[in-house]
Chain A
Amino acid sequence: MLRIYQRLWQVNWAEQWQYRANLVMYLLYWLVSPVVYLSVWTTVARDQGSVGGLTANDFVTYYLVLLLVDTLTSDITIHLLAYKIQDGTLAGDLLKPVHPILTGVLVNNLAFKALTLGVLVPIWLGLCLLFRPDFSGVSVQSLLLGLPAIVLGFGISFLLGATITLIAFWTTRVYSLNEFYYALIVLFSGQFVPLELMPRFVQQLAQVLPFQHMKYAPVQLILGRLSPEQVAGNFLLGGLWFGLALALFLWVWRKGVRRFSAVGA
């Protein structure tokens, strides 16, 4: 099994490497919105000293860490899989003796991440020079705990993203549904603003929804802004959501693949 993943990595890495120039351009999408929100909120914080207890530096560190966490936990399954279900080419993958989503699509996701990071990290260091963040809240311990939190976040976002894509077995096109799903992420993951500044009902919903584990929870953890109880609670809830997402994904996959008629193949 390990050898399969090793080979898949080589293939998918080579595939992504082909598009490295495109990748640099796509990075711009990732970069612009955190920098925009960072500027908006630091302006507000500077004008009045702080916003809801957060200083300008708190916002700078939040969005800079978010930029990295976002890249690490985001999922591109819809772009890898939706067209295959639409035009029927998934049929070829189904013949292979391994789960096509949990192997090829997953590894391609990871290869994309690795390559993106290679370009993002130098840019990120440049942004750090421009914004001069004070990362004094970050400790070795919070970084070490951040790692499993990010893996968990990616697991949830990958499984949910894949499940949404699999709806294409029934509807053929899923891009509109995906846009709706993306809006939920924007609203509840802390991408726009640290969740504590959201209206109370949004915060309460965000607490029980899976989306905060993709961004807000790991970022806060790395920045050392959570109490040990909160960290434990987040891992527990995140683990629960991971289990739920996995079960949901496997169930939808089993039902969907039976319906699959391989259009055009």
Chain B
Amino acid sequence: MYRFKLLVALLKINVQQELAYRADTAINIVLSLMWLGWELLSLSIIFDNTATLGGWGPGELLVLLGVWRLVNTLMAAIIWPNTERFNTSIRDGSLDYTLLMPVNSLLLVSLTRIVIWRAWDTLLAAALIISGISLSGAVVSPLNLLSFLALALGGALVLYSLWIVLIACTFWFVKFDNNVTILQALMEAGRYPATVYPVWLRMLITFVVPVAVATTVPVQALRGELSGWQVLLFLGVALASLLVALAVWRAGIRRYSGASS
């Protein structure tokens, strides 16, 4: 119960912070619409020149773009701003205060800063997914839809776990403030189906920085390309990676000695 209250309090603080910069928020929304326009234009340029991309039609790429935007919004709204905060708190030692609080440290580290206006982006993403499905004209069975949702959530969990491990590395190597750059840089590769990439890049974004697991894989489930066992396997991997990440985080916290003391 207290966790719920804490979340509400955090949201409140972030809304207040956002309201202090209203003009900035308005500009950001315009910019996000502009990028959406660009993304749609780039898809239309691709499909002006071809009927399918690696076997995927325009509707399916629209769904993929929606899923990618969803993941990207999660990153931009929560993960990146909190990373910045976390890295500063390691450098100046203010992480001490976070650890002293009687709340799960990972919860505070992951959710203190939330960029509220990004909620708007999730609406856009949902609209993209729905219009993509209707454009592709495919009949989606309830089971496929369910595995799509489950795998999208599982993919987000995998990326979150990777993030925990990356920032926890800072406990061992203090001067490591571009700990998440590799994740940020490879996000870009999630916009297109992983099947178009050369093998080495596909391996990289599936096993090392699993952007594809959060973008291509759910859409494959929606298309009915994955068997029940594969879906379960991916969900198992998501759960396992979260457990590993939590263990790494705990080990890191034990190792942390504080910059100020």
* A binding-site residues for B, Cβ under 8 Å: 22, 25-26, 28-29, 31-33, 35-36, 39-40, 43-44, 47-48, 51-52, 130-131, 173, 176, 179-180, 183, 186-187, 192-193, 197-199
B31 at the interface (CB under 8 A from A): yes
A183–B42 CA distance with the chains assembled, in angstroms: 12
**Count, chain B residues at interface, CB 8 A:** 32
A72–B213 CA distance with the chains assembled, in angstroms: 34
Chain A, residue nearest B190 (CB): A36
Given A36-B189, A198-B45, A28-B50 contact (CB < 8 Å): no
Chain A, residue nearest B34 (CB): A183
User: Is A176 a contact of B38 with CB atoms below 8 Å?
Assistant: no
User: Is A44 a contact of B201 with CB atoms below 8 Å?
Assistant: no
User: Is B181 a contact of A28 with CB atoms below 8 Å?
Assistant: yes
Contacts A183-B34, A187-B41, A192-B42 supplied; 15 other A-B pairs, CB < 8 Å: A26-B178, A28-B185, A29-B185, A32-B188, A36-B188, A36-B191, A39-B196, A39-B197, A44-B49, A51-B50, A130-B198, A176-B31, A179-B31, A193-B45, A198-B45
List residues of chain A with CB within 8 A of the CB of B35.
Answer: 183
A176–B181 CA distance with the chains assembled, in angstroms: 21
Partner of B50, one of A47, A130, A179, A186: A47
Partner of A44, one of B38, B50, B178: B50
User: Is B34 a contact of A44 with CB atoms below 8 Å?
Assistant: no
User: Is A197 a contact of B38 with CB atoms below 8 Å?
Assistant: no
The SS class assigned to the B binding surface is helix
User: Is A25 a contact of B178 with CB atoms below 8 Å?
Assistant: yes
The SS class assigned to the A binding surface is helix
User: Is A39 a contact of B49 with CB atoms below 8 Å?
Assistant: no
Interface residues of B in 187-223 (CB under 8 A from A): 188-189, 191-192, 196-198, 200-201
List residues of chain B with CB within 8 A of the CB of A187.
Answer: 38, 41
User: Is B54 a contact of A43 with CB atoms below 8 Å?
Assistant: yes
List residues of chain B with CB within 8 A of the CB of A36.
Answer: 188-189, 191-192, 197
Given A39-B197, A179-B31, A25-B181 contact (CB < 8 Å): yes
A-B contact pairs, 21 of them (CB 8 A): A25-B182, A28-B181, A29-B181, A29-B184, A35-B189, A36-B189, A39-B192, A39-B201, A40-B46, A51-B49, A131-B198, A173-B24, A179-B31, A180-B31, A183-B34, A183-B35, A186-B38, A187-B38, A192-B42, A199-B45, A199-B48
User: Is A28 a contact of B182 with CB atoms below 8 Å?
Assistant: yes
List residues of chain B with CB within 8 A of the CB of A31.
Answer: 185
User: Is A47 a contact of B49 with CB atoms below 8 Å?
Assistant: no
Given A32-B186, A176-B31, A44-B197 contact (CB < 8 Å): no
B52 at the interface (CB under 8 A from A): yes
Shortest distance in angstroms between A71's beta carbon and chain B's nearest beta carbon?
Answer: 15
